[in-house]
Structures are given as C-alpha cells and as structure tokens.
Structure 1
Amino acid sequence: MNQHRSGTIPAPQVWPTLRAHDAHALIRFLVEAFGFEETVVHGEGERVEHAQLSWPEGGGIMLGSVRDADEDRWPLRPGTFGAYVVTDHPDDLCARARAAGAEITDELSDTGYGSRGFGARDPEGNRWSFGTYRGEPRKA
C-alpha cells in the first residue's frame, strides 16, 4: 500500500477528461482495446453527459460527448487528448490493443530510463502512451 506523510495515499483525485464525437463507441473501444473498466455512464440516447472509466491498475478517466459551443462549459476538442498510463503488462496490452484495431503509433520499446511501453491512437484521434515507468517518488 502506498504511504503518504499522513498515512495512506488517498484515492486518485485528479481525473484526466476528454470529449468525443461518439462517446459510446469510444467507451467500447477503450474497454476492448486497452482494458479500461466501464464504471458509470450517464446520459440519454447517443449523448453521454458523464462517463467514468477505471484503469485496473489504479486511477481512471472521465469523458463525455462533444457539445455545441454555446452550451459547453468545458469546451475540449475531440481528438486532442493525450495520456500516459502505467501498466505492468505492456507487451500483453500492446497485443490486445493491436488485435482490437488500435493504431499503434510507437512500437514496443525500452527506454534509457527503465521503462518499457508503446504508443497508440484511439478512433477519435486521442494519443495514448502505456509503459512501466511509474514516475519519480513524491517528495517528503
């Protein structure tokens, strides 16, 4: 278990967010190709007001359907999102993503700083990087 000065590190409270032209299709893709878990999806018909996808190894993302400019308080353009996601299984995940039709933008490789990973693009054009690098330890 992760430790923090006051004890256990709290659950993730920073949630990367994105918009999608076809949020339902993007959710299906992210679950099938990358292994995210659908936690909740709110909305009616084709419109997704709010969705949360959890990453099995910790954390997650939130997303929703693109909205008309005059009604959007969070005007993110679909396809402009990018994220780095930590995984202990980059080889298996890359094979899964490729089998599901993900565009692999950077083939599996090892870095000079000890990470192994790959890059991919989802059907909306968002860029994803998956690797074993967990970042540097938090400062005390």
Structure 2
Amino acid sequence: MPRNKTPSISTFLFSDDPEASQKFLVEAFGLAEGELSRDDKGKALVGRAYLGDYAVSVARPHPGRMEAASHANVLHSLVMVYLDDVDSVYEKAKAADAKIEYEPTDMPYGQREFGARDADGNLWCFAKELTA
C-alpha cells in the first residue's frame, strides 16, 4: 500500500535478504508491513515497513559500494525512533529474539531509550523524551 506523504528524510538500509528484514522490522519492532518489490525472477529487491507515514526501506546491497551493516566492522549509523511506549516495543523486540544492545534506561540527557539490532546488524534506538 503506497503512502502519499514523502518525508524530507527517509531511512534506507541495505540487506542481503530484504524480505526477511522487512518481516523482522514488523515482528520485532512493530512497524507496519509495506510493499515488497521483486525482480522478474521473483527475488526480493526492496521491502518497506512503516512507522505512521514514515517508511524504512531495506534493499539489496551493491557489493563493494553499498553493503549491509552485518558486513561492516564498525557501527556506521543508527536509526533513532521516538515513540510513546518504549517498554512495550522493548518487550516485543525481546520476544522476537532481537539482539538487545541495552535495556530501557532513563538517560541523563532526558529520554528513556533502549537499543537493539535488526536482522542485518543495524542499531535501532527507541526513545521517549522524559518530561519533568
């Protein structure tokens, strides 16, 4: 189901298996399943998952130019998601066997957050700003 709204910045990640990565984002992090495009042989090329109107795309890499995070030796980026209920997403991610990097914690810089890796090794941080 295509969305009409295109944000100014959109997350685009690389995956050796976009279909499995899309499924993981839905099951572990609670995103809504979006469209999945395939080549003429039926191989998944790009999968999308949505948080509200905002898309996260996962696409096949281009070896030597664009690689999945699992092929990198260092963390090169992270996806920060702000939402209302950090703890329920944490429980969902944990139940789906996501690799939890750190549990929900009230941070000294004013937000509650946790970190988890997706199926491709990308770091996702889910946070809610704390109010006094």
**TM above 0.5:** yes
Aligned length: 118
Superposed displacement of residue 67, structure 1: 3.3
* Cα RMSD for the two superposed structures: 2.1
- Asked whether the equivalents of residues 91 and 108 of structure 1 are also in contact (C-alpha less than 8 Å), the reply is yes
Partner of 1:4: none
SS at match of 2:36: strand
Q: Where do 1:100-139 residues align within 5 Å?
A: 100-133=96-129
Partner of 2:18: 23
- Unaligned regions of 5+ residues in structure 2, if any? 70-75
1:55 and 2:51 matched: yes
Q: Which runs of 4+ in 1 moved over 3 A?
A: none
TM-score (norm 2): 0.79
Superposed displacement of residue 68, structure 1: 4.5
Give the counterpart letter for 2:115 in structure 1: G
Structure with more strand by fraction: 2
CA shift digits 1:50-79 (9 cap, x unpaired): 3322113x523122112345xxxxx32101
Bigger radius of gyration, 1 or 2?
1
- CA distance in structure 2 between the partners assigned to 1:18 and 1:99 by the alignment: 23
Identity of aligned residues (%): 30
- CA distance in structure 2 between the partners assigned to 1:65 and 1:113 by the alignment: 36
- Asked whether the equivalents of residues 24 and 46 of structure 1 are also in contact (C-alpha less than 8 Å), the reply is no
